Amino acid sequence: MEELRPLVSIVTPLFNEAENLDALGSRLGAVFEANKDVSWEWVAVDDGSSDGTALRLKDALVRAPRWQMIRFSRNFGQQAALRAGLASASGDAVIFLDADLQDPPEVIPELVVKWKAGAQVVFAARRSRGETFPRRLLITLFHSGFQILAGRIMPQDSGNFGLCDREVADILRKLPEHDAFLPALRAWTGFETATVEYDRAARLSGKGLSFSRLVGFAWNAVTAFSDAPLRLIFLSGLVISALSFTYGSVLLAQRILQFFGFFKDLEVLGFTTVAVAVFFMGGVQLLSIGIIGEYLARVYREVKGRPHFIVSKREAGDQRIP
């Protein structure tokens, strides 16, 4: 009977999560125990942690009927860790779960139910989130901006946490692009989706992405998914040109009319206009070059073709085969 149960893989990226491992292990372990209708695999990717996560990881992992541990040679970033997990996961469905317990493992069975009902991508959307105000503001700004720029590709307020079917997982793991934004790519594949709502907790312990990394992460997601910023440059050029042309025409008309005796007492006041115009255009141009530069850098990274991550150690265990 064993082999008839579908295998579901849980992929957790971990960067300095040593303090959360016990809680993560016991809460995931409870989910495995209570849901024997599927068989479980836990794929943990240690993204170059320096706090002893690697040493303590195995104690948590053995709670899973089947597990894999992948260790990176250094920190390659959360999305690279997810990608490595995805590449190794052998499940019929793959679930991404943050290791800091912001996304409750208890929601996992609900994802599996939707998957069994036919959805090939199941999003977990946050009803609420336990974050501090400035982070929440940035995150909300990012999600609304991303929805506009990338064209409502996934439910607002969903992130890494979610499930994808083997068919989708196989497509995702073959995508060659660097700095991919996997949560949105899951939706981009176009398969049938479903959404489960949940309340996002505060981080159990540890710091989480720093503010600047969060901004970098958001910007990476936008440039990975949308070339709208490039089009915005074109659009702003169009608007500025139209305004300049109109204003220029008015000035020219005035000047010509002066030859015919009109506007005789018009004072030539122009310094403010010129100064503002020069600074404004300088700013717009630098900003535009910056945006183009970001896309150029992406192309450069692709052309170099470096591996997305480097694995220094792998280990696997299967309780069913003693």
Residue 99, contacted partner among Mg ion, ligand UDP, none, CB below 5-8 A by kind: ligand UDP
Q: Which is nearer to ligand UDP, 47 or 165 (CB)?
A: 47
Residue 77, contacted partner among Mg ion, ligand UDP, none, CB below 5-8 A by kind: ligand UDP
Residue 47, contacted partner among ligand UDP, Mg ion, none, CB below 5-8 A by kind: ligand UDP
Residues forming contacts to Mg ion in the complex (CB under 5 A) are 98, 100, 102, 208
**Part of the chain binding ligand UDP (CB under 6 A), chosen from 9-17, 86-94, 120-128, 277-285:** 9-17
Q: Does 15 bind ligand UDP (CB under 6 A)?
A: yes
* CB-count exposure of residue 158 (10 Å: 0-12, 13-18, 19+): buried
Sheet holding 39-46, edge to edge: 193-200, 121-129, 158-165, 93-96, 7-14, 39-46, 66-72, 311-318
**Part of the chain binding ligand UDP (CB under 6 A), chosen from 10-18, 31-39, 56-64, 189-197:** 10-18
**Part of the chain binding ligand UDP (CB under 6 A), chosen from 96-104, 263-271, 294-302, 314-322:** 96-104
Beta strands in the chain (DSSP E): 7-14, 39-46, 66-72, 93-96, 121-129, 158-165, 193-200, 311-318
* Residue numbers 232-271 binding ligand UDP by CB under 6 A: none
Instruction: Give the relative orientation of helices 211-225 and 133-150 as an angle to the nearest 10 degrees.
Output: 10
State which H helix or E strand residue 23 sits in. helix 21-34
Between CA 71 and CA 311 the distance in angstroms is 6
Which residue in this structure is represented by tokens 């992460």? 217
CB 99, min distance to Mg ion, A: 8
Query: Residue 208: which of 13, 38, 35 has the closest Cα?
Result: 13
DSSP readout, 141-189?
HHHHHHHHHHTS-S-TTEEEEEEEEHHHHHHHHH---TT--HHHHHHHT
Q: Does 208 bind ligand UDP (CB under 6 A)?
A: yes
Residue selected from 41, 47, 157, 165 as contacting ligand UDP according to rule CB under 6 A = 47
Between CA 13 and CA 78 the distance in angstroms is 6
Residue selected from 44, 66, 98, 108 as contacting ligand UDP according to rule CB under 6 A = 98
Residue selected from 17, 41, 157, 165 as contacting ligand UDP according to rule CB under 6 A = 17
Residue 209, contacted partner among ligand UDP, Mg ion, none, CB below 5-8 A by kind: ligand UDP
* Residue numbers 56-95 binding ligand UDP by CB under 6 A: 75, 77-78, 81
Residues that bind ligand UDP (CB under 6 A): 13-15, 17, 47, 75, 77-78, 81, 98-100, 102, 203, 208-209
